[in-house]
Amino acid sequence: MNVRSAETDDDHLSPDDRSTRSRIRDAAIECFADAGVKATTVRKIASRAGVSAALVIHHFGSKERLRAACDAHVARMIRERKRQAMRDGPGLDPLAALRQEQHGPPLARYLARTLAEGTPQVARLVDEMIDDAERYMADGVANGSLRQSEHPRGVAAVLTFWSLGALVLHEHVERVLGVDIAAPPHVHADNPAYVAPALELLAHGILAPEWYERLGSADAPRGTEPEEREESR
Give mean pLDDT in consecutive 10-residue pieces for the chain, a chain of 233 residues: 43 53 94 90 96 96 93 80 61 59 72 81 82 83 85 91 87 89 67 80 80 67 48 48
Quick one: CA torsion of 197, 194, 33, 107, rounded to 10 degrees?
A: -90
pLDDT for the residue numbered 194: 80
Using CB atoms within 10 Å of the CB of residue 145, give its burial: 0 to 12 exposed, 13 to 18 middle, 19+ buried: exposed
Q: At what angle do helices 120-143 and 107-117 cross, to 10 degrees?
A: 120
Q: What's the DSSP call for residue 14?
A: -
* Alpha-carbon distances, residue 117 vs 165, 168, 232 (angstroms): 13, 11, 51
pLDDT for the residue numbered 185: 61
User: Is 229 inside a domain boundary?
Assistant: no
Q: What's the DSSP call for residue 178?
A: S
Q: Kindly report the CA angle at 47 between 58 and 168, in degrees rounded to 5?
A: 100
H-type helices in 36-62, by residue range? 42-49, 53-60
d(CA 36, CA 147): 40
User: Is 225 inside a domain boundary?
Assistant: no
Claim: this prediction has a pTM higher than 0.75: no
Kindly report the CATH number assigned to the domain that includes residue 166: 1.10.357.10
User: Is 150 inside a domain boundary?
Assistant: yes
User: Is 233 inside a domain boundary?
Assistant: no
User: Is 118 inside a domain boundary?
Assistant: yes
pLDDT for the residue numbered 100: 55
d(CA 26, CA 28): 5
pLDDT for the residue numbered 11: 39
pLDDT for the residue numbered 40: 94
User: Is 43 inside a domain boundary?
Assistant: yes
pLDDT for the residue numbered 12: 43
Residue span of the structural domain in which 47 resides: 3-219
User: Is 47 inside a domain boundary?
Assistant: yes
User: Is 230 inside a domain boundary?
Assistant: no
Give the largest CA-CA distance in the chain: 78
Q: Give the number of domains in the chain.
A: 1
